[in-house]
């Protein structure tokens, strides 16, 4: 008897695992008329975007009399999210709505006809001008097409500890050379100049992108990707050497330092500078109000193509729609998001990619208003992160090895060769 039960249980387990594996996307439930839409997302749970979207989905569902439901499946950790997403897509189970950067993988999905042309959708429905132009431009591919919808809008800056700066008679650097000089003075005085989250890789990759952006905007990385430029060209070497120089001012063991640790080091005054975007203003707020910290944007360089008001502005990971399941109902929901998102999102002291008047019943902090003003004044160029340009393989190789470059464990030549070889090998 026991064994029979066991075999039944085993058979049951098998069946369930089979069913789980075959879970389909949009299901018309048995009642016939409840539409279920899945959003496979990578936004922090209970973060501002998550909250806003749930609010919107609830209201929309109410308006539709409960005949419409959204199922939000969140994996905040980006690498695991991407792995799950790629596995779902490889298995032919792409969810209705996904989060994705306009990177080469996304381009492949577009080439396979799997994503909705969001630019066309916005233009057809007169929503294109409701967005800040840069927020949309960030989502574009190099050819100007756009398949992802932004839900956030950010600037990135270097935060610095005013007390430490004053102690050593330093001021916020205006040029890249001054920046290096500031770091040098700090280091000579036994202060850790910059704390960096090396585990997530992207913060280090920003330092690699800084000099080329000043020299040539995003043209350098586009040409590098297309195999027309070498990592070892004049501009490329400036990038490599800048990271090498900067690397010596990162905290000890930055390669194994995570996001929270790097940020805490700065907040506790154990490092003098920290590079992060406005999405962390809540963490910076108190110290900023006490006058202990301030920020500066990417310093300029001599003969630079891009100006002081041009730096890393981004609208984050975008939202993309499955072309196969993008019917009238989903379209209607997409428009509903665009029309209701901005106000709800701004209320949470967030920068919205969709233009909106600030709600009057909410009191915004000085810091928020100051950054908002900065964002209104940004130039037409913006530094677009390199990981959105490079093919996945080259990006992995670059991200792995730039840590060694920055810590002085790899020579510039070796790094250049690895990147160039990988780009050549992955070129189609």
Partner 1 sequence: MKAEDAKGMDINMGIIQNKKAYAVFLLPALIFYIFAVFYPIEESIRLSFMKWNGIGAPKFVGLENYAAMFKDKVFYTALINNLVYLVIVVVIQLSVGLLFAILLTYMKKRVTLVKTLYYIPCIVTTVAIAQLFRSIYSTEPLGLLNQFLAGVGLEHAATSWLANVKTVLAAVSVPEGWRFIGMYMVIFYAALVSLDPSVYEAAKIDGASELQILFKIKIPLIKEILLLTLTMCLTGALRGFDIPFLLTAGGPGNASEMMSTYMYKKAFSSNQYGYGSALAVFIIIESIIVVYLLRKAFTTREDREIKQMEKVQRKQRRSGK
- Residue 366, token pair as written in the block: 């000085």
Q: Give the nearer residue to partner 1 in terms of CB position, either 255 or 301.
A: 255
Q: Give the nearer residue to partner 1 in terms of CB position, either 201 or 372.
A: 201
CB of 286 to partner 1, least distance (A): 21
Quote the CA–CA distance of 5 and 375 in Å, as a whole number. 65
Q: Give the nearer residue to partner 1 in terms of CB position, either 111 or 373.
A: 111
What's the Cα-to-Cα distance from 141 to each of 104, 117, 324, 411, rounded to whole Å? 9, 12, 21, 33
Q: Give the nearer residue to partner 1 in terms of CB position, either 177 or 413.
A: 413
Quote the CA–CA distance of 300 and 386 in Å, as a whole number. 19
CB of 378 to partner 1, least distance (A): 32
CB of 420 to partner 1, least distance (A): 15
CB of 39 to partner 1, least distance (A): 21
CB of 243 to partner 1, least distance (A): 14
Q: For the purposes of burial, counting CB atoms within 10 Å of the CB of 197, is it exposed (0-12), middle (13-18) or buried (19 or more)? A: buried
Q: Give the nearer residue to partner 1 in terms of CB position, either 1 or 30.
A: 1
CB of 416 to partner 1, least distance (A): 15
Phi, psi (deg, nearest 5) at residue 35: -90, 130
Quote the CA–CA distance of 396 and 398 in Å, as a whole number. 6
CB of 20 to partner 1, least distance (A): 13
Q: Give the nearer residue to partner 1 in terms of CB position, either 104 or 217.
A: 104
CB of 279 to partner 1, least distance (A): 23
Cβ(31)–Cβ(66) below 8 Å: no
CB of 263 to partner 1, least distance (A): 12
CB of 346 to partner 1, least distance (A): 35
Binding site for partner 1 (CB under 8 A): 3, 7, 10-11, 13-14, 79, 82-83, 86-87, 89-90, 105, 108-109, 112, 114, 198-199, 251-257, 261, 265, 270, 392-393, 396, 400-401, 403-404, 407, 409-410
CB of 353 to partner 1, least distance (A): 28
Q: Give the nearer residue to partner 1 in terms of CB position, either 87 or 241.
A: 87
Q: Give the nearer residue to partner 1 in terms of CB position, either 79 or 379.
A: 79
Q: What is the 3-state secondary structure (H, E, C) of the chain?
A: CHHHHHHHHHHHHHHHHHHHHCCCCCCECCCCCCEEEEEEECCCCCCHHHHHHHHHHHHHHHHCCCCEEEEEEECCCHHHHHHHHHHHHHCCCCCCEEEECCCHHHHHHHHCCCECCHHHHHHHCCCHHHECHHHHHHHECCCCCECCEECCCEEEEEEEEHHHHHHCCCCCCCEHHHHHHHHHHHHHCCCEEECCCCCCCHHHHHHHHHHHHHHHCCHHHHHHHCCCCCCCCHHHHHHHHHHHHHHCCECCCHHHCCHHHHHHHHHCCCEEEEEEEHHHHHHHHHHHHCCCEEEECCCECCCCCCCCCCCCEECCCEEEEECCCCCHHHHHHHHHHHHHHHHHHHCCCCCCCECCCCCCCCCCCHHHHHHHHHHHCCCCCCCCCHHHCCCHHHHHHHHHHHHHHHHCCCCHHHHHHHHHHHHHHHCC
Q: Give the nearer residue to partner 1 in terms of CB position, either 79 or 133.
A: 79
Q: Give the nearer residue to partner 1 in terms of CB position, either 57 or 89.
A: 89
Q: Give the nearer residue to partner 1 in terms of CB position, either 14 or 369.
A: 14
């Amino acid at each position: 008897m026991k064994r029979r039960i066991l075999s039944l249980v085993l058979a049951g387990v098998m069946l369930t695992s089979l069913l789980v594996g075959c879970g389909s996307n949009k299901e018309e439930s048995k009642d016939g008329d409840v539409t279920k839409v899945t959003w496979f997302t990578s936004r922090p749970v209970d973060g501002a975007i998550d909250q806003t979207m749930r609010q919107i989905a609830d209201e929309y569902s109410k308006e539709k009399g409960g005949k419409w439901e959204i199922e939000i499946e969140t994996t905040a950790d980006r690498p695991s999210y991407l792995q799950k997403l790629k596995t779902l897509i490889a298995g032919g189970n792409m969810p209705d709505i996904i989060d994705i950067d306009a990177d080469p993988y996304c381009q492949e999905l577009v080439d396979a006809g799997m994503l909705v042309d969001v630019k066309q959708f916005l233009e057809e429905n007169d929503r294109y001008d409701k967005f800040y132009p840069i927020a949309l431009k960030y989502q574009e591919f190099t050819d100007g097409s756009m398949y992802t919808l932004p839900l956030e809008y950010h600037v990135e800056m270097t935060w610095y500890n005013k007390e430490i700066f004053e102690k050593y008679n330093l001021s916020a650097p205006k040029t890249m050379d001054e920046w290096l000089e500031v770091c040098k003075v700090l280091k000579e005085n036994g202060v850790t100049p910059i704390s960096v989250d090396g585990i997530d890789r992207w913060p280090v990759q920003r330092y690699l992108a800084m000099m080329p952006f000043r020299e040539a905007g995003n043209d350098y990385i586009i040409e590098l990707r297309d195999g027309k430029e070498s990592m070892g060209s004049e501009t490329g070497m400036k990038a490599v050497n800048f990271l090498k120089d900067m690397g010596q001012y990162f905290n000890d063991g930055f390669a194994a330092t995570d996001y929270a640790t790097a940020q805490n080091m700065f907040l506790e005054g154990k490092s003098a500078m920290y590079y992060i975007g406005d999405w962390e203003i809540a963490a910076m707020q108190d110290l900023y109000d006490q006058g202990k910290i301030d920020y500066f944007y990417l310093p300029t360089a001599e003969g630079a193509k891009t100006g002081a008001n041009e730096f890393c502005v981004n609208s984050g990971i975008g939202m993309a729609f499955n072309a196969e399941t993008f019917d009238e109902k989903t379209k209607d929901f997409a428009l509903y998001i665009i029309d209701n998102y901005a106000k709800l999102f701004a209320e949470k002291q967030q920068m919205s990619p969709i233009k909106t008047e600030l709600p009057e019943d909410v009191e915004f902090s000085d810091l928020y208003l100051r950054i908002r003003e900065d964002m209104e004044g940004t130039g037409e160029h913006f530094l677009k992160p390199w990981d959105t340009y490079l093919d996945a393989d080259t990006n992995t190789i670059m991200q792995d090895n730039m840590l060694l470059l920055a810590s002085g464990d790899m020579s510039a030549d070796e790094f250049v060769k690895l990147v160039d070889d990988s780009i050549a090998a992955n070129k189609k």
